[in-house]
Amino acid sequence: AVGSTAERAVYDAFAAYRELLAGAGEYLAGRVADLDDVRNRIVARLLGVPMPGVPDSDEPYVLVARDLAPADTALLDPSLVLGFVTEEGGPTSHSAILARALGVPAVVALPGAGELAEGTMIAVDGSTGEIFVNPSDEKKGQLEAAAAERKAALAASTGPGATADGHKVPLLANIGGPADVPAAVEAGAEGVGLFRTEFLFLDDNKKAPSEEKQVVAYRQVLEAFPEGRVVVRVLDAGADKPLDFLTPADEPNPALGVRGLRTLLDHPEVLRTQLTALAKAAEGLPVYLEVMAPMVADRTDAKAFADACREAGLRAKFGAMVEIPSAALRARSILQEVEFLSLGTNDLAQYTFAADRQVGAVSRLQDPWQPALLDLVALSAEAAKAEGKSCGVCGEAASDPLLACVLTGLGVTSLSMGAASIPYVRATLAKYTLAQCERAAAAARAADTADEARRAAQTVLSGE
């Protein structure tokens, strides 16, 4: 800008893009911290001052920050980071993702975290979202004992997911493409519960990928899980994943507009090509392929998707994602058209509570422990059981080991999560019987708040 310093011009230039990202839905809004990091590094170079980032340390530490950018996380020494505490962020922020990958506790979106003085002794309990400042010797002993117990259980945890009395709960991986497969296999995933296919379409925002390109990518994933289950979500375009050739640029409220299956039904040729590619990719492979549609609102949506699958010659189970409250309320009706349900708890929470996940003022409503959300999970699971069909969870809720027990108690038949979470969920499930999980689920649903639900489940499972 005329009359501005170079540093001011950088801030002004980035401000417009920052605003665009912040209003573009959960995923892109979660990348605002990345943009801020690039801006701050440019300004630091212009001013001739040290680049912003994580301070060096030779001793183990808990990292406290406003949020973490990719450049920061790439330089961290995993052997020294004991945990994370951030003022901002959420389940999809870099700090939360990295914490899960490293297997260290993390507490995100904690107001006032930045006020902690460097050198303060703190303890972080990622399972409860609590931190303890200058903990007593007794509290430190309790936390260390719990950590040792978790480590031992983790080391002993192998094989398929199951409760202590042998009730099977398949533990599957959420993946975003073939590059995520090795980590899923290494973690012992029993298959894939959510294969996001957007990566193929985001490579070129101007046109859909060819059928041949899709076949190659899908087959890479299917071949990695012989005799396993792979659940593919067809393209979920719109809202936070806009595509120039598919989604309107002038929608006033993309999250409540044409997204997911709605977009594909408006562009049947894109859906047809994707389903045909999946059918060809699965030919001759000993894999249990399942295909599901995002943003299914009712039976009409479910029928339209199932019809499209059959017309494409797809030999697979057809399913619907439950991300809209209407789908949970009418789950049994939807199951007349499809063979399974998969709960996307992230979007389901957003639409249930009319609360944008990137707005800190309503963050308490995003908590997957909210009793109203658990009620919708239970409704869906009960409908599936009544119809003799399956109902899984592929949202962030499944990666919480304690909540995984509650979801199992609600009747969910499989859990899908980031690969790094699988060993922790497997170890925790193995400690409790199905009856204990059911009692914990009932206690959580009887609570009035998310915090009360969490404490109620903990009390039941700890035998207090």
User: Hey, what are 315's tokens?
Assistant: 């030999």
| 391 in active site | no
pLDDT at 147: 80
pLDDT at 413: 99
Q: How far apart are CA 145 and CA 151, in angstroms?
A: 10
Average pLDDT over residues 99-127: 84
pLDDT at 359: 65
Q: How far apart are CA 264 and CA 79, in angstroms?
A: 46
The CATH superfamily of 54-129 is Phosphohistidine domain (3.50.30.10)
Average pLDDT over residues 215-241: 92
Q: How far apart are CA 338 and CA 345, in angstroms?
A: 19
Largest separation between any pair of C-alpha atoms in the chain: 72
pLDDT at 129: 79
Within its chain, how far is the Cα of 153 from the centroid? Answer: 24
Instruction: Say how many CA atoms lie within 13 Å of 304 toward its Cβ.
Output: 18
Closest alpha carbon to 305 in 273, 346, 272 = 272
**pLDDT single digits (tens) 36-81:** 777 877 877 777 766 556 767 888 999 898 877 666 665 677 788 8
**pLDDT single digits (tens) 88-105:** 776 656 567 667 666 778
pLDDT at 50: 61
DSSP bridge pairs for 456 = none
Q: What is the CATH number of domain 159-462?
A: 3.20.20.60
Q: Which among 94, 309, 391, 405 is annotated as catalytic? A: 94
| 94 in active site | yes
pLDDT at 74: 59
Q: How far apart are CA 173 and CA 191, in angstroms?
A: 6
Q: 33 or 46, which is more confident?
A: 46
Q: What is the mean pLDDT of the chain?
A: 87
Q: Which among 309, 391, 394, 405 is annotated as catalytic? A: 394
pLDDT band at 135 (very low <50, low <70, confident <90, very high): very high
pLDDT at 52: 59
Average pLDDT over residues 415-424: 92
Predicted TM-score (pTM) of this structure: 0.79
Q: Residue type for 145, please?
A: A
Q: Is 92 helix (H, G, I), strand (E, B) or coil?
A: coil
Q: How far apart are CA 419 and CA 315, in angstroms?
A: 27
194 pLDDT higher than 70? yes
Closest alpha carbon to 370 in 455, 450, 458, 451 = 450
- 73-77, 164-168, 276-280: the lowest-pLDDT one: 73-77
> In the chain, what are the domain boundaries?
1-52, 54-129, 159-462
Q: 421 or 171, which is more confident?
A: 171
Q: Provide, rounded to the nearest whole percent, the portion of the chain with pLDDT above 70.
A: 87
